[in-house]
């Protein structure tokens, strides 16, 4: 009886907190309710999860939110009911909030699937309460060193968490990332691999001095030999010493094309099937996200054409290349959080039209962003000098906007191009009213929320149904 009372007390107070948070405009209420519920009833997540037939977890450094949201779109298009943390709150508090919201005031939860984005460092804690049968790993990049530590430590955390699970787990792994592909061998878990053909032959991306996180074989330490890179360390690799190499993908994207802000590719499956995939998105990394989602869908038995149709109408989450219109200008808002992701975001400038673009960069150093911003010196801002005529004014803002302005100066940007404006509203207004034909906004986690709020007050959001991002995720 006491346990039941504690469950409902936790549920109702958490839902009240969610309601109050949204009414008062104090964020999306995607983390605090879960934190409150777990403090009152630590077993509430495990209890709610019993109402879900099958649990899927998506983890990795970059692309978790987009991959998970794509997978949810696919599952719902297949007619399934899905519990999901679409807003990107990926700590155990955000995962719990997703279950609380789905359970409602009566605490009754019945769903076919739970598809959950989970932070890499939080994976062991989440897996104490949930027993997923399918785990998708997107990629591993250096990220928030003061929180995660070195990359090897992050990979070890995920591998150990997967090894400890007693239930059967099938992995969906990125074949092009040696740091991810090794997990099948290290954990002994069966895996389906996805990958992407060499996109450089289609001239779809600019290749700058990319960060190469996985230069060495994870098994023998020999320098890996690459026949091509798609971005960062993702590509076709092999170890000439121990034989570790890129697994042959079960699901592969080929013939990648870009047109009018959209990407398309042919998705081939080992069994001989293929389907044309079109995405209303920019960025090669979004092809990878879509391939991960499709691989999970194929493993679960969803028809390929149903998945293609769902992804053709995919709506981005807030800050994932979200589009606005300010008068006749296109405004793009994108999250940045580590060197690999920032490089990929900058490379988009090579393809975005119309130009020149005025660019806002908002950098914070709160706990969710990482206190150490030295990673900005590992971003290839020097590539901007090769985009002659494509960039206009650079407006830097946020708690560490001054350091960002300094970094751009050292990258070779002309001093008269760079403006530092501490206030978010003034910074956004300045970049919107600049002389360029388009605007590109890049922001770290906690800077994204205030920037989005300001730009939303001046510009029209092109996709009103977008999932919203938690201020701290």
Q: Catalytic amino acids?
A: 372
Query: What angle, rounded to 10 degrees, do the helices at 339-347 and 284-299 form?
Result: 110
Element (H, E) at 389: none
> Do 115 and 58 contact (CB within 8 A), yes or no?
yes
DSSP string, 409-469: HHTT--GGGEEE--SHHHHHHHHHTSSSSEEEEEE-HHHHHHHHHHHHHHSEES-TTPPPP
- The alpha carbons of the chain give a radius of gyration, in whole angstroms, of 22
The Cα 289–Cα 279 span in angstroms is 11
Instruction: Tell me the two tokens of residue 447.
Output: 């800077």
The Cα 277–Cα 305 span in angstroms is 9
First CA to last CA across the chain, in angstroms?
35
344 Cβ contact partners less than 8 Å away, ≥ 6 residues apart: 62, 231, 232, 283, 284, 285
Nearest to 71 by CA among 292, 249, 275: 292
Burial class (CB in 10 A: 0-12, 13-18, 19+), 202: middle
122 Cβ contact partners less than 8 Å away, ≥ 6 residues apart: 90, 91, 92
170 Cβ contact partners less than 8 Å away, ≥ 6 residues apart: 133, 134, 135, 189, 190, 191, 192, 299
The Cα 239–Cα 225 span in angstroms is 6
Burial class (CB in 10 A: 0-12, 13-18, 19+), 125: middle
Length of the chain: 473
Instruction: Tell me the two tokens of residue 113.
Output: 């699937």
């Amino acid at each position: 009886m006491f346990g039941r009372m504690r469950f409902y007390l936790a549920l109702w107070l958490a839902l009240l907190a969610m309601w109050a948070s949204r009414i008062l405009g104090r964020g999306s209420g995607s983390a605090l309710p879960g934190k409150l519920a777990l403090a009152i009833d630590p077993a509430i997540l495990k209890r709610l999860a019993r109402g879900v037939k099958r649990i899927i977890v998506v983890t990795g450094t970059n692309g978790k939110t987009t991959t998970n949201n794509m997978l949810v779109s696919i599952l719902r298009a297949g007619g399934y009911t899905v519990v999901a943390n679409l807003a990107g709150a990926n700590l155990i508090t955000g995962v719990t909030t997703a279950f609380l919201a789905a359970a409602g005031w009566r605490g009754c939860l019945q769903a076919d699937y739970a598809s959950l984005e989970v932070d890499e460092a939080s994976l062991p804690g989440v897996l104490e309460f949930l027993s997923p049968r399918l785990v998708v790993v997107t990629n591993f990049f250096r990220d928030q060193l003061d929180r995660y530590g070195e990359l090897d430590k992050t990979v070890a955390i995920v591998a150990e968490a997967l090894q400890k699970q007693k239930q059967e787990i099938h992995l969906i792994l990125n074949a092009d990332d040696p740091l991810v592909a090794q997990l099948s061998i290290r954990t002994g878990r069966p895996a389906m691999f996805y990958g992407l053909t060499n996109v450089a032959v289609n001239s779809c991306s600019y290749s700058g001095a990319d960060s190469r996180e996985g230069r060495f074989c994870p098994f023998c330490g020999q320098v890996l030999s690459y026949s091509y890179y798609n971005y960062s360390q993702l590509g076709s690799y092999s170890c000439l010493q121990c034989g570790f190499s890129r697994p042959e993908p079960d699901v592969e994207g080929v013939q990648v094309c870009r047109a009018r802000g959209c990407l398309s590719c042919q998705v081939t499956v080992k069994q001989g099937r293929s389907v044309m995939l079109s995405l209303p998105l920019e960025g090669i990394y979004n092809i990878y996200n879509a391939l991960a989602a499709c691989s999970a869908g194929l493993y679960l038995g969803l028809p390929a054409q149903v998945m293609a149709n769902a992804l053709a109408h995919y709506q981005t989450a807030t800050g994932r290349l979200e589009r606005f219109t300010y008068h006749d200008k296109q405004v793009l808002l994108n999250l940045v959080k580590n060197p690999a992701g920032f490089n990929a975001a900058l490379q988009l400038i090579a393809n975005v039209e119309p130009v020149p673009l005025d660019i806002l960069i908002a950098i914070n150093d709160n706990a969710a962003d990482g206190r150490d911003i030295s990673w900005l010196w590992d971003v290839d801002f020097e590539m901007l000098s090769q985009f002659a005529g494509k960039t206009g004014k650079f407006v830097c803002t946020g708690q560490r906007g001054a350091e960002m302005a300094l970094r751009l100066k050292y990258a070779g940007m002309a001093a008269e191009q760079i403006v530092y404006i501490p206030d978010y509203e003034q910074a956004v207004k300045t970049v919107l009213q600049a002389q360029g034909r388009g605007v590109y906004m890049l922001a770290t986690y906690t800077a994204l929320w205030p920037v989005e709020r300001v730009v939303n007050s001046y510009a029209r959001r092109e996709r009103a149904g977008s999932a919203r991002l938690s201020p701290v995720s």
